[in-house]
Amino acid sequence: TQLLEQSPQFLSIQEGENLTVYCNSSSVFSSLQWYRQEPGEGPVLLVTVVTGGEVKKLKRLTFQFGDARKDSSLHITAAQPGDTGLYLCAGFRAGNMLTFGGGTRLMVKP
Amino acid sequence: DTAVSQTPKYLVTQMGNDKSIKCEQNLGHDTMYWYKQDSKKFLKIMFSYNNKELIINETVPNRFSPKSPDKAHLNLHINSLELGDSAVYFCASSHSSWSTQYFGPGTRLTVL
């Protein structure tokens, strides 16, 4: 059982559609991060959310941290083929150790 | 101007062999990490070093031995390789244990 559960695991959509990816846990995290990983490369940090209820926007990407700091969501508006990749959420827990979710593989078809 | 680099990129070897993966960062960071990503893309921390000292060892078999000759390098040596060791291994670094981590490109290890 993973500490952070991501859903869906796989998502295939058409260009222009909107989507939301969820990251849930029964544990409280001091902060949550979202990463994007492309094939053959390491994860790259997109955003860090720290405050419960916080919303951050990065162009067409909107990140939200749950009020109780146990969950987060990533919403992409008008997805583009360049958004294709593996999206990982990660949270800091005791000992400043970063724990990753299982990832969501997104494919955006032109 | 690569920030975190790993060598080799690909490693194919037989069961029972011993192999090493090297990692170097030129970001001036104090903390370095090794992660393992399995075939289902689950990324899990293995080790964390701060200023050449081990601070996290996440129940990794003692066949895995990290070595940090200096702050900029964290190498991973694996003895008696097993089939289950096949994965992509990522090195990462950060300024401190709670700041942004920068990942290397990964080393795909295949044990036959």
Model pLDDT, residue B1: 63
> Where does residue B92 rank: exposed (0-12), middle (13-18), buried (19+ CB within 10 A)?
buried
For chain A, the residues whose C-beta falls within 8 A of a C-beta of chain B are 2, 37, 40-45, 48, 86, 88, 92, 95-100, 102-103, 105
110 residues of chain A, pLDDT tens digit each: 678 999 999 999 999 999 999 999 998 888 899 999 999 899 999 999 999 999 999 999 999 999 999 999 999 999 999 999 999 999 987 666 889 999 999 999 99
Residues of chain A neighbouring B55 (CB-CB closer than 8 A): 95
Chain B positions touching A45 (Cβ under 8 A) are: 100-102
Angle (CA) B37-A95-B60 rounded to 5° is 40
- Alpha-carbon distance of A80 to A18, in angstroms, equals 10
Q: What is the mean pLDDT of residues B46-57?
A: 84
At residue A95, the pLDDT reads 63
Regarding predicted confidence, which is higher, B53 or B90?
A: B90
The band of B55, judged by pLDDT with boundaries at 50, 70 and 90, is confident
> Measuring CA to CA, how many Å separate A106 from each of A18, A53, B58?
12, 25, 29
Strands A10-14 and A104-109: parallel
Per-residue pLDDT for B76 more than 70? yes
Q: How many residues does chain A have?
A: 110
Separation of alpha carbons B57 and B47, rounded Å = 5
For B105, other C-beta atoms within 10 Å of its C-beta total 17
Compute the average pLDDT of residues B26-30. Answer: 94
Q: What is the pLDDT of residue A90?
A: 95
Would residue B63 be called left, alpha or beta, if left means φ above 0 and alpha means ψ between -120 and 50 degrees?
alpha
Contact B31, B95 (CB under 8 A): yes
B104 touches chain A (CB under 8 A): yes
Place of tokens 């583009």: A80
